[in-house]
Structure 1
């Protein structure tokens, strides 16, 4: 623990791992530190949709961050997987919005962003997904997905191959500073010294920072189901009433997700499982025949104004924050990492004013 690495990153989820990837590209030595196993919190629990849940509901800044994530994701995953030899299952399966009240908003957003769409009537929906009462849908053919647990594994393997140091089961107790200058992270295994520090600990970022936290980053629990089906049963991601069904290449279907504020307990319950299953059947009746294989919960990192915190912490030179991406953490991991890399390389405190940790 005596070697001085240029950048120490507290948090081994997709945001922290992607930040490490881009900083290695920029020539930095990197240490990634995680309290548990790499990628096993929100990055493992989420669905991996590479398209915002109703993008027109987000701020212009978050929309730009999301669109940048979509633009670079294919090349990002290809480079990571080529290094690791692991297939993260990036696929352009498309996404179909089934909410009648959102169709016109979605169409207007698509026209504004030159996003191809296809209007589906009841007959077309029934042909795709079986008999349905849904009157119409709006299909986004270029929406993609990634199998996020595999991407976590791929990034971990690739980072180690490229020379990054990775410390698992190593809780960070806080940053160490001297005259408001970052010197390293105190951990359960001793100090990890570095000239730059990045806190990318998701819902735990504010707890890690303590009194240095510029504003709360708080957890919002989401429960998910995994159903076992046959490949090809569901051709695309479905979205309705804020819930989704995601087809994996092996035939499994992910169904999610709830929004449950209230603390750090990752709880599951039978009533919610039944509700999620009912939502899945409402989107595609054939899903009602599938057995439930797993039921779990994860904690998304949220902020009070719905925008992430990306940049240097106010009043502490060399200490940066990259967290608060909420439901877009998988999608925005590489685009957020680009911003954080530029902040460190160019010595910027707030590359994007809307995401400035000091904005409140």
Structure 2
């Protein structure tokens, strides 16, 4: 059995790995290099930023992902020799306007969240600016180092005998087990998995017209160790 995976971000590479582990010969396509688009620029937070503002299916998917992520990271490190550096230091959310909605969501979904006082807040993050009276605290939220996670996945893609990597390959279209490349080449498979994220609407407009990119920005600070010890979210940043 042959599978084609289109898009080699975190999800695409994990799909390719899973398919190869289940007996498929996998061809992994990306329009650029493996793991160099949105996955590279992500913050690595294993949670929606404001999880209570999403629909129930997103909550269900996030909870399942969070439950298995630590074991996944262990497996990836064992297979690649690269530690993606998962952190279990939690998530602090400041300046929450809909705090009661957040607490109701947590109670209804058995997700650990609590309101903590300023004293506890500054015990957790003593370098925060003064003036916060309280915060929402989600101690079970973890995060990973995206570049290291992607490096581990790229290593596995290149080492696995059942996975063929094809970078810098632009796809013209996808239809019923057939992938057409801009070069004119056509590739066939028993299964085609599309993991192209914001680019999906260009490849499959008939089923993905509502998929569109959103803009985000990442800043890298040369900060001393210990300046910030966990994920801190305030006003959407």
What's the TM-score, normalizing by structure 1? 0.61
**1:182-201 aligned within 5 A:** 182-188=177-183, 190-201=185-196
Q: Distance in 2 between matches of 1:159 and 1:108?
A: 42
Q: Is the 8 A contact 1:118 1:138 kept in 2?
A: yes
The count of residues paired between Structure 1 and Structure 2 equals 234
Q: Is the 8 A contact 2:169 2:181 kept in 1?
A: no
Q: Distance in 2 between matches of 1:105 and 1:148?
A: 30
Q: Is the 8 A contact 1:103 1:137 kept in 2?
A: no
Q: Please, what is the CA RMSD of the aligned residues?
A: 1.9
Q: Which residue of 2 aligns with 1:129?
A: 126
Q: Distance in 1 between matches of 2:102 and 2:212?
A: 29
Aligned counterpart in structure 1 of residue 138 of structure 2, from 130, 133, 140? 140
Q: Distance in 2 between matches of 1:203 and 1:238?
A: 26
Q: Which residue of 2 aligns with 1:156?
A: 154
Q: Which residue of 2 aligns with 1:93?
A: 89
CA positional deviation for 1:187: 4.5
Q: Distance in 1 between matches of 2:181 and 2:122?
A: 57
Q: Which residue of 1 aligns with 2:50?
A: 54
Q: Distance in 2 between matches of 1:161 and 1:189?
A: 28
SS at match of 1:49: coil
Q: Deviations over 1:246-274 (max 9, x none)?
A: xxxxxxxxxxxxxxxxxxxxxxxxxxxxx
Higher RCO structure, 1 or 2 (CA under 8 Å, sep 6+): 2
Question: Do residues 228 (structure 1) and 222 (structure 2) align?
Answer: yes
Q: 1:188 to 1:235 in 2, by over 3 A?
A: same
Q: Distance in 2 between matches of 1:184 and 1:101?
A: 47
Q: 1:237 to 1:17 in 2, by over 3 A?
A: same
Q: Is the 8 A contact 1:100 1:135 kept in 2?
A: no
Q: 1:189 to 1:70 in 2, by over 3 A?
A: farther
Structure 1 residues not aligned, in runs of 5+: 244-360
Q: 1:129 to 1:168 in 2, by over 3 A?
A: same
Q: Which residue of 2 aligns with 1:73?
A: 69
SS at match of 1:104: helix
Q: Is the 8 A contact 1:12 1:39 kept in 2?
A: yes
SS at match of 1:157: helix
CA positional deviation for 1:152: 1.4
Q: Distance in 2 between matches of 1:12 and 1:214?
A: 18
Q: Deviations over 1:174-228 (max 9, x none)?
A: 12x5xxx423333537222212112211111111224x33423211111121111
Q: Distance in 2 between matches of 1:185 and 1:149?
A: 30
What's the TM-score, normalizing by structure 2? 0.91
Question: Do residues 171 (structure 1) and 170 (structure 2) align?
Answer: yes
Q: Which residue of 1 aligns with 2:211?
A: 217
Q: Is the 8 A contact 2:200 2:208 kept in 1?
A: no
Q: Which residue of 2 aligns with 1:109?
A: 105
Q: Distance in 2 between matches of 1:191 and 1:150?
A: 33
Q: Distance in 1 between matches of 2:187 and 2:150?
A: 23
Q: Is the 8 A contact 2:178 2:186 kept in 1?
A: no
